[in-house]
Structure 1
Amino acid sequence: MRIAMIGTGYVGLVSGTCFSEFGIDVVCVDKDARKIELLHDNVMPIFEPGLDELVASNVEAGRLSFTTDLKAAVKGADAVFIAVGTPSRRGDGHADLSFVFAAAEEIADALDGYTVIVTKSTVPVGTGDEVEKVIRARRPDAEFDVVSNPEFLREGSAINDFLRPDRVVIGTESERARKVMKQLYRVLYLIETPIVFTSRRTSELIKYAGNTFLATKITFINEIADLCEAVGADVHDVARGIGLDGRIGKKFLHPGPGYGGSCFPKDTLALVRTARDSGAPLRIVETVVAVNDERKKKMAERVVTACGGSVAGKIIAVLGLTFKPNTDDMRDSPAIDLVAGLVAAGATVRAFDPEGMDEAKKLLPDGVVYCDDSYATMPGAEALVIVTEWNAFRALDPSRIKSLLAAPRVIDLRNVYEPAEMRDQGFDYRSIGRV
């Protein structure tokens, strides 16, 4: 089989590469000629562990290629995947579908024989209907079906998520399209991966509902963490105690500075807008969005309070800038509000992140000092703030940290260290939901 993957961003590049690993011929398309040139040189536009090796092996095997020529890629393809960005639209929070519809128009002009057109991008309910209308308007003669096939990739473990997923969701009412999709995912059928076939609109909603539920779990445990601090309880024990209940589960019950990234912020907001427009508002999700936004803004206040009420003229060391470890993604990272708040309060921020500093420089205020390693952030700093739980930060030498800081003060927003151990070593240690 042969497929075209339109878009070589996070979803498109990982999905296209993994389909080629299944033995399918894949052509990845992007308008950005420079990105395609870099991919030809095996230079990845994103950081994802193991992706460069997987791309290289499948290119060498002749199953994976990259081009700017969409028409050539679509011609003769059994399926064409739309994997372009759907960012939040400025002003109203709706998903911006302009890239999706532009891709649909170009695909329509290039169709050659029966083709399954698959929306891999995260799109609101009803988008598949609109894509079908766009293509039908331009090519009333074309033979095609539009299918929803949402992605469930976690940054940092996306390859494993694609090759060994919890489930695959496919939305279509066409038996012909269903047969094509079954063939594409045949490898996963053989390892008995649950394949959920449903209507197109239901499939589109599953993606948003899943991300929103996970965002809700994160926000819930963050509020419980605040309550634990107020009453003298330990949020980790609370999370374990409720997570062992099979109806709840332990995943996404990790307190922190709030969720960020490329999915949860925009998807929760888009679902809120869709629900309001449909006359069925989701009050729980509206609250989740509001609470999370407020939490991220309050993280700078935690640091200021820990430093005696003022950070003006003081150095603050910040470790971790990406929204999670094992990615270079800075989109809606809690570090953005934290650093902006500290700078506004008069602090000099020294920061280090293993992968995210190039992206951080585009988003953080001027004046932030970017360091070459963790320890370089610390000399003379009034406090050390841990924002992202990279493994490298778990192995820091407490004695060396203490010798470098102006004051032995650590604000651990990811609960990387044990409170008792840090205090025994003489640190003024503050964490989330633990006393």
Structure 2
Amino acid sequence: MANVFSNAFSSLGEWVNERAPGLMPVYRKHMTEYYAPKNFNLWYYFGSLALLVLVNQIVTGIFLTMNYDPSASGAFDSVQYIMRDVEWGWLIRYMHTTGASLFFVVVYLHMFRGLMYGSYQKPRELVWLLGMLIFLVLMAEAFMGYVLPWGNMSFWGAKVIVSLFGTIPVIGKDLVEWIMGDYLPADATLNRFFALHVIALPLVLLLLVVLHLAALHEVGSNNPDGVDVKHGPKGNRWDPTKPADGIPFHPYYTVKDLVGVGLFLAIAAFIIFFQPTFGGWFLEHDNSVPANNLVTPAQIKPVWYFTAFYAIVRMIPSALGTAVWGVLGMFGAIVLLFLMPWIDGGKVKSIRYRGTGYKVALGLFVLAFFGLVLIGTDSTAELIPMLFGAGVDVTSLENLFGRVMVLIYFGFFVFLWLYTHLGWEKTKPVPERVTTHD
């Protein structure tokens, strides 16, 4: 039986190769002849998982659009129709909403791995920049998708977030009206957000993913040691001309990635079937009621994956008295990530061999990010009374904590530039080859 399937696949491959001979070289270059370092660890699962979630979002999104009505009068009801009357509609929607949050989970972990192992350093600057562009487009895609259900938080979230552009001098007010197509989020807003969410931005996202992978395969993957695999005389034992300490991506890492995919799908399935709202983090309770411009939610806040940047907006204006600084701080927090290849002047890539200062700074940076998430989701309003008692001034403590988190976040980039460009970093010796070779 195995021989029958093998012969069938072989015949199919020959048939395709005769009619499209250019496909096989592309397949070999990016799969069987793409040599990846053989010391990948669990942090390298998240790139393939991000691709998996992207496919899930596209497929489930296509089915959702079949029954969605992009109008202010029909959007909310059409979502309820999908959830209650469409065959398996509830499952498709929960796969989409859960996938959105899990997309950001794996992307944030993928970015953190890049920070740990210096995957943004030469010669992978372009890979990093393309990855950050993917992150930026993904944020726009997620925001517009969040508006489409047209629940009350969707409406007010759109109003607040789009209104941030109003802080831009001279053109701010006109820019806000141009984005929304009206004075308030309405039919025009939903129509343009729907078009961007289901057509324009996915096309841009797919293009950037292809460019990201192509750029990666041109320079080769980084690894936990931050040491490039060797070529030539020190080649691997199978073929001296092939990279040393490298193995073909297919079948070795494609099979290995299936383990991560299996575990990830099990976690995703548990959330979808048993806790699809995830306590209001994945699907907010205020979005289960229709949009109403006369009823403001008690707390207007974005979905959790935007809250760290939204918290920066909240903290800076209260300190300096004008919203424009908060908006600049929010965008600056993202722009600084783009500039990491030039901010970090370190001679060593991997955190394994970097100085103690970098390890401490990266740890504080992660803590600051989570601290900002807590502030952005208003979780600190509940935690502070639990920690300090009911009579404490919650607002003052929250502002103090938030501003410290903002200082740590931006301080990471300032410290990193000084630490590496002024020669303060004392690194460990880096091995000549990756440490898990035969």
TM-score bin, normalised by smaller chain:
under 0.3
Question: Which TM-score applies when normalising by structure 2?
Answer: 0.23
Question: Which TM-score applies when normalising by structure 1?
Answer: 0.23
Q: Which has the higher helix share?
A: 2
Higher RCO, Cα 8 Å, sep 6+? 2
Q: Which has the higher strand share?
A: 1
